[in-house]
Structure 1
Amino acid sequence: MVLRGRRARLHQLASKTHKWLAIIIGIQLLLWFTSGTVMSFLPIDKVHGDHLVDRKTVAPIPAGMALASPADLTRSVGTPVTSLTYRMLLGRPVAELSTAKGTRLADATTGVLLPAASAAQAEAVARAAWRGEGRPVARVERIERAAPEYRGALPAWRIAFDDPNNTRVFVAGDTGRITAVRTGTWRLYDFFWGLHIMDWKNHEDFNTPWLLAFAIGGLALWIGGAVLLWMRWPVRRRRRSPGS
Structure 2
Amino acid sequence: MSNRAELLERAAESYEKASLPLDAGRCYLAAGLVLRAAQCFENGGERETAAAAYRKGGAAEAAASIFIELGRPDDAVACHEGVGDLLSAGWVLALHTGRTAQARALLSDATFATTAGELRRALGLSLCAARLRGDPAELVRVVERCAAELPSISPLEARADVRDWAVQVADQVGRHDLSARIHAAAYHARVPNAVARWRGWAAAMLGDTFGVPDRPLPNED
TM-score (norm: length of structure 1): 0.21
- Higher Cα Rg, which structure: 1
TM-score, scaled relative to structure 2? 0.23
Task: Flag the structure with more relative contact order, 1 or 2, with Cα contacts below 8 A and sequence separation at least 6.
Answer: 1
